[in-house]
Amino acid sequence: MDVGSCHLGGNADAVEFCPHRPFRHVLAAATYTLQEQAGEEQQQQQDRAGTVSLFSVDAGAEDESRRLRLLHTVETAGVFDMKWSPTAPLLAQADAHGRLVLRRLEHEDGSDEGVVLTDVVAGNISSSMCLYVDWNQNADSLAVALSDGSLSVVPMREDRLEVSEQWTAHQYEVWTCYFDRARPHLLYSGSDDCSFGCWDLRESPSNAVFRNKKTHTMGVCCIAQNPLEENMLLTGSYDEFLRVWDMRSMMKPVDEKSLNLGGGVWRLKYHPNIPDIVLAACMHNGFAIVKAGAGDATIMETYCKHESLAYGADWQTSEAAEHNTDSSVIATCSFYDRLLRVWQPENLVNHPTS
């Protein structure tokens, strides 16, 4: 069921629901737009501009105009990725200017209605573009994936952001990085060089635990870990496959099963309450809800109401969905048509929650 939709001011590439009370109704949507500008001597210069917009989402509102409402917009550099801290309403932004920016979500003027993002701290990470950001579970460190093939680790400080370690991890762009939720000294990465790797941050420089260069036939775009089964890891690739990994043998993880989603798998997000349900952004083939548990991975539902590259995808964390999976709410966005959609899946009714 469609809840609401709107067009953003730029190319839409990321959506993230705030998971923290009292802001669980807040959705952040980001854009990245390449603008051609005439510079000196009429040479064309490229400016990568972007926005982060906050929306209020209330799928159950009787008044349709209140189901999806714009609250606040921040003008910034082009945003490739953003993530909420796991411990506080703090949003980390990885952008095209090589910066990591942290902003805090706050009520405006003490009002329960209005919310704004206030700048906390920003740091220059690299002369290359920051393509992806992830928090460790304690929220005391962030990892940033870079367009020059490097990975950066940045300790969380509210007075400054400085890289504690940066190393060349891949030959080409690093599209994703992911802290192991149970073993925070391990950092996974996926790259345009088709490799999926893991790094031990206890060593300096970080040591490669493993590199898999044979399984994926195209670039590795996303990584996700099952919230209850810590040894189950998912990867998504331009080669259109979602792969399920058994990580019990960390030196040589086993590719247990795979599922062709019919489009490059750009993002994977586990349901906040149902441990075997995953939302996938499939680039050229819309969005899919996948059951990826102990058995075979299967597609439960698809959503194809976007007319451009399917990039951003996230679940809303809510009290209603904790008790009734029929209340699950999803936000998705697509790039060139600049479209943001909020909708509810049809096939999660009576699915057991954790």
| 42 confidence band (pLDDT: 50, 70, 90) | very low
What local confidence, expressed as pLDDT, does residue 213 receive? Answer: 95
Mean per-residue pLDDT, 200-207: 88
Give the count of beta carbons closer than 10 Å to the beta carbon of residue 78.
22
270 three-class SS: strand
d(CA 47, CA 69): 29
| 96-107 pLDDT tens trace | 999 999 999 999
Over the range 182-201, which residues count as b (16 or more CB within 10 Å of their CB) and which as e? eeeebbbbbbbbbbbbbbeb
Among 8, 1, 48, smallest CA distance to 27 is for 8
Domain locations along the chain: 2-34+48-343
DSSP 326: G
What local confidence, expressed as pLDDT, does residue 108 receive? Answer: 84
Q: What percent of the chain is modeled with pLDDT above 70?
A: 92
What local confidence, expressed as pLDDT, does residue 83 receive? Answer: 98
Question: Is 182 a residue whose pLDDT tops 90?
Answer: yes
| 51 confidence band (pLDDT: 50, 70, 90) | very high
Mean per-residue pLDDT, 297-318: 96
**Residues paired with 289 in a beta bridge:** 279, 301
Half-sphere exposure of 227 (CA within 13 A, CB side): 14
What local confidence, expressed as pLDDT, does residue 158 receive? Answer: 85
Mean per-residue pLDDT, 277-285: 98
d(CA 150, CA 95): 15
What local confidence, expressed as pLDDT, does residue 265 receive? Answer: 98
Sheet holding 207-212, edge to edge: 174-179, 186-191, 196-200, 207-212
Q: List Cβ neighbours of 337 (8 Å cut-off, separation of 6 or more).
A: 7, 306, 307, 308
> Which has the minimum average pLDDT: 165-174, 283-292, 319-328?
319-328
Average pLDDT over the chain, rounded to an integer? 93
Q: Which residue has the higher pLDDT, 39 or 253?
A: 253
Over the range 304-343, which residues count as b (16 or more CB within 10 Å of their CB) and which as e? eebebbbbbbbbbbbeebeeebebbbbbbbbbeebbbbbb
What local confidence, expressed as pLDDT, does residue 35 receive? Answer: 81
Superfamily of domain covering 2-34+48-343:
YVTN repeat-like/Quinoprotein amine dehydrogenase (2.130.10.10)
The tokens describing 19, both together, are 């998971």
The tokens describing 160, both together, are 């400054």
Question: Is 296 a residue whose pLDDT tops 90?
Answer: no
What local confidence, expressed as pLDDT, does residue 354 receive? Answer: 55
How big is the CA angle at 213 (ends 209 and 218), to the nearest 5 degrees?
A: 135
What local confidence, expressed as pLDDT, does residue 37 receive? Answer: 65
- In the chain, which residue ranges form alpha helices assigned H by DSSP? 319-323
